[in-house]
Amino acid sequence: MGVMIAGVYHLEDPAPDTKLDGAYRRQVSTVRNALPDGPFEAGRFHLYAAWNCPWAHRVLLTRAVKGLEDAITVAYARPRRTPDGWVYDLEGEYSDPLFNVTALHQVYERVDPAYTGRITVPFLWDRVENCAVSNESADLVRMLGTLEGYGPNLAPPDKVEQIDDWNAKIYPRLNNGVYRAGFARTQEAYEAGFQDVFTMLDEIESHLETNRYLCGDVLTEADLRLFPTLARFDVAYHYAFRCNLRRLVDYPNLWGYARDLYARPEIGRTVKPDIYKAGYFSPSELRNPLGIVPLGPEVDWTAPQDRRSLSPATS
């Protein structure tokens, strides 16, 4: 992943930040502003995203479930990063209709000519003020998910505490846990991430025995933050990141839950398994030096499931 230092773009090894213990440490987001006050203006905001990035996927899911697809334009980066980072074509489905850039770092230059930080998606731009809003997915999911006048409230007041509890557990142990396993530089660091991943999956599997969604019978932000990890698990994390104790399809409740979400058209159309494989099996000196993309596995997201009868647990 590339980085800018004092406004100059530098190529970095795709392996993550580590210290002497070999553990992966994700850098904090550097652009964290709020949406402007007042009514939301359709067409005002432009989202930089990539289909294979799970953090961008969270925001794309929120945009879809909230019915904001016509209100927020998107520039999708090419599935595989290059030495120039996230890149764009000059036309077509992987182009940027706003600034017509060829690389995302060219947009970050507009934030600050001396910008220092990672060049990441998602990244929301305000056309009216000609400025960046945020590159923190959690903030964007909460801000967009609670917009009035568009779709369901994905963080209703009576569920916020429960949502925040799930997010606080799932993010470090599972969403980021797969990266802690996959990007580890020592056996000990790998095993710590690996154990967190499957302990968290086991906990969610048990909870979903009696709950249709994480927060009972209501789809919330917590589900949309979990789903991108599940969507990538069997085609990418199980193999590329060595999270291979079990597959998603080996968890009856989690796999049924994931297919239940996928069956919603607005969610299903955001799932791109072939793009995930192309991205996660990109050439990497540490993980995939030849850049060979596997043809399998076959995962049938349309297999029948029926979770509609589940009611929230009483405890």
Instruction: Give the mean pLDDT of 96-104.
Output: 96
d(CA 56, CA 76): 10
Per-residue pLDDT reduced to its tens digit, 39-93? 999 999 999 999 999 999 999 999 999 999 999 999 999 987 788 889 999 999 9
* All structural domains of the chain: 3-145 (3.40.30.10), 157-280 (1.20.1050.10)
Closest CA to 242 of 299, 282, 195: 195
Pull the structure tokens for residue 294.
């596997």
DSSP 217: S
**Cβ-Cβ contacts under 8 Å for 301 (sequence gap 6 or more):** 258, 259, 262, 268, 271
Annotated catalytic residue, options 24, 48, 53, 115: 53
d(CA 234, CA 229): 10
What is the Rg, in whole angstroms, of the alpha carbon atoms belonging to the chain?
19
Closest CA to 55 of 217, 178, 160, 169: 178
Annotated catalytic residue, options 108, 179, 251, 276: 179
Per-residue pLDDT reduced to its tens digit, 258-306? 999 999 999 999 999 999 999 899 888 878 888 899 999 999 999 999 8
pTM (2 d.p.): 0.92
131 an active-site residue?
no
215 an active-site residue?
no
